[in-house]
Chain A
Amino acid sequence: MRKSALILAIAPLIFALSACSGDSGNTANTASTPGSNSTSSVNRNRWDTVKNRGQLICGVSGEVPGFSFVGTDGKYSGIDVDVCRAVAAALFDNPDAVEFRNLNSKERFTALQTGEVDILSRNTTWTLSRTTSVGLEFAPVVFYDGQAIMIRKNSGIKSLADLKDKAICVQTGTTTEQNLADQMRKRNITYKPVVFEDVNITFATYAEGRCDGITADRSALVARRSILPKPEDNVILDEVISSEPLAPAVAKGDNKWADTVKWVVYALVKAEELGINSQNIAQFATSSDPDIKRFLGTEGNLGEGLGLTNDFAARIIKHVGNYSEIYDRNLGPKTKLNLPRGQNQLWSKGGLLYSPPFR
């Protein structure tokens, strides 16, 4: 008994000691690694890893309808899912060459850092600290969102101020948790956060009546409301308390891989700008417009610059469609969510979506 306690007691000591020696030996280690790059570097050759594997591994939530959700038929759907399909279409000419991994908000960054997933497409807010200290490289925003609060219709709550001293359900590990604290601090409103790790439990607790309000990205609230016991009894307050640009991300380290993902997203937007969609793409094959020709790869060699085929954009649009097709399919008026496009409209129509030139 006593001996084992002693060993336990000195374990941290050994740990601490080796920490020092590890630090000093570090430069030597890096100097001697060139030969063993492939094993130690998780992300340096991500592009090659994906290409050689013949399949994309994509981290999603799987729990947010419209963004990433597993249907009763076991199939994934949603805007985040379609982004991954678009990347697979560009790389392999096959939108189904994707393996989806469900990640919760806590697991997501580690999964990316350790190379367990190639891309994180999981309604994740693009922030400064996530690009610096967490080591993420964000692709362009695929959905401009804002944080909101949902309450029960019969609660008499009309604005944030009415939530004084009330309990608000929050999911941990999200930017929403910090935004809520910021907002309430700014407005001098005291409140009681009830915080959970699991999104299902967060919403279940709200549904049980423990919390007077629940906060999340507006889109997530709309999406989750659709699967609450009585959706119509819940309303989302008009106040938007933060801006949440949701974007796919890859781990830093492989620029070629990051560029590929970025330009796949741009291609979706560009196609909508050019009026090209999965239905009419064949008609554009003979177009004489140089912009369209370059985009579809019938002229120039833009795709090769990314290590892809020149017709990579055409592949994406053929298999997955352009941005508006993806939006309408997952979030548009024909879906249960029926989210107006708002900021997620092309710049030319008053929105924020804009693609740099394909030239």
Chain B
Amino acid sequence: MIEIRTIATGSKGNCYRVSDGSTALLLEAGISFTAIHKGLEFKTSEIEGVLVTHEHQDHCKGVEGCLKRGMTIYMSQGTKDGVGLDNAQIRIIRSKEQFRIGTWTILPFDVQHDVNEPLGFLLQSDNGDKLLFATDTYYIKYKFTGLTHLMIECNYDQQTLDENVASGHIHPAMKKRVMRSHFGLENLVEFFKANDLTKVEEIHLLHLSDNNSNVERIFKTVARATGKLIYIP
């Protein structure tokens, strides 16, 4: 059984704790270390590894604090260069090269975002559960089998985005930027269709935009498309 706890989500910062009952991991450290510490109820020593997808502040703000605390951080070379930190506790990982942390086997894969070498993660616990973590990508190249848990970005929905442009809330240039860096509801539905969801127990929709998303519309659409338990933290 995988336990997922959202400590922070959205463009102000992302941080999630996932555990299979044996090994606890942190996905992203995009808030201050103090906030991470609090979110983990001060049990930072339980965390066996921190996986970071890319160098944007809302995903790695707390990395330095985690390093000071002696935590091990996993990221791509490109992300490490982007973050600009040099520390022996940073482990470089590569797309499609799997590795182990405790009871987890983790397979990083390349995603589509406007930074150098961003990653998504497929995590399989020794207890058989399989979790997909993908955020800050405007689509996913890959298809997966046997997923039991999904933590996936749903940043905007086209209707809200278009309405915002029409009403002048969003600059037209921003629309393209959003569409070229984030996962939208319509593309997410295509993703659900292309993947085998029979074993999926939970879907966590992450990183909803404050302005460009209509939570109700997103919830209903995903529910209709998947028929699964949906969490919008």
> A and B, one complex?
no
